[in-house]
Amino acid sequence: MHESPMGVTPESTTEHTSRLQHITVNQDDVVVCTMFPQNVDENAAATQWITATADSFASLEEQR
């Protein structure tokens, strides 16, 4: 994950098999991650996304 001055982290997962990208915002100790398809038209973008907050995250190592 890469931090920017505004706390927004746009990242693409094109090097993997996923066709999703995400933006993570960390502001005032609140983390929100929104995931959406890479190639979606403007009209569909309004409905094809999901957002997770900090209490929705789980450690990958702990889940394995």
Reported as a single tens digit per residue, the pLDDT across 12-55 is 544 556 688 889 998 888 889 998 888 888 888 889 989 988 78
CA nearest to 36, candidates 57, 51, 25, 54? 51
What values do phi and psi take at 63, rounded to 5? -75, -25
pLDDT(8) > 80: no
Q: How high is the pLDDT of residue 14?
A: 44
Q: Fill in the DSSP letter of residue 44.
A: H
Q: How high is the pLDDT of residue 19?
A: 84
Tell me if the pTM is above 0.75. Answer: no
Reported as a single tens digit per residue, the pLDDT across 19-30 is 888 899 988 888
